[in-house]
Chains A and B, each alone.
Chain A
Amino acid sequence: ETGVTQTPRHLVMGMTNKKSLKCEQHLGHNAMYWYKQSAKKPLELMFVYNFKEQTENNSVPSRFSPECPNSSHLFLHLHTLQPEDSALYLCASSPGTGLSYEQYFGPGTRLTVT
């Protein structure tokens, strides 16, 4: 195990639902990330937080809303999603956001939007 946990592991939601994904890291890292992984596509960075401050928003639609209350916890709030948002959502953490820092991934949340 990498020390990064995610809940829930599977989520099915309707287009009008509101749900949240949770990530927690136990590695003492300062940076946390949300990625989206769709079939046949590269991992797509969504958000970066460093010391609780958002440093990257990769043109993500506003129906995805991140929250980072502290360096160990990261949330992704979901609202009015579309079927094309169905994917594996991965959380990762690293000691910092510098060049040599290695990122460690959680197990992911498999999201299906109906």
Chain B
Amino acid sequence: QKEVEQNSGPLSVPEGAIASLNCTYSDRVSQSFFWYRQYSGKSPELIMSIYSNGDKEDGRFTAQLNKASQYVSLLIRDSQPSDSATYLCAVNFGNEKLTFGTGTRLTIIP
């Protein structure tokens, strides 16, 4: 059973600080990784995708992938109250579909 694990939180971070969200997955051959943001009552919104080891930056967001350790993380710099949401990690295990974690609820404290 291919699995994606996330700490459900809630994770509370002061405004302006760095929020760090982590995700581990079960299969070493996994190839592609995605982070989605979901506001309460809304649908998931794609934030980042990452396919190779290392860091990928997009504005205040940085995705980090370490395939040897089987984890992917999302850093949010200069956290804003509008970043408060549930963040979903998704992994394509090479079977043409995404497997999602349960999500981490992030709260930015003004």
Which chain A residues have a beta carbon within 8 Å of chain B's beta carbons? 2, 33, 40-43, 45, 48, 55-56, 88, 90, 97-100, 102-108
Interface string of B39-50 (1 = CB under 8 A from A): 000111110010
**Minimum CB–CB distance for B14 against chain A, Å:** 27
Contact A105 B31 (CB under 8 A): no
Distance A106 CA – B42 CA, assembled complex (angstroms): 9
Cβ distance A10 to chain B, nearest Cβ, rounded Å: 11
B58 near A: Cβ within 8 Å? no
Nearest residue, chain B, Cβ from A44: B100
Chain A residue nearest to B4 (CB atoms) is A42
Inter-chain residue pair count (beta carbon < 8 A): 55
- 20 residue pairs of the A-B complex, CB under 8 angstroms, read A33-B97, A41-B102, A42-B4, A42-B99, A42-B102, A42-B103, A43-B90, A43-B98, A43-B100, A97-B96, A99-B31, A100-B31, A100-B32, A100-B51, A102-B34, A102-B46, A103-B34, A103-B46, A104-B46, A105-B45
Which residues of B have CB within 8 Å of A90?
43-44
Contact mask B13-42 → A, CB, 8 Å, 1/0?
000000000000000000110101000001
Which of B31, B49, B88, B102 sits near A102, CB closer than 8 Å?
B49
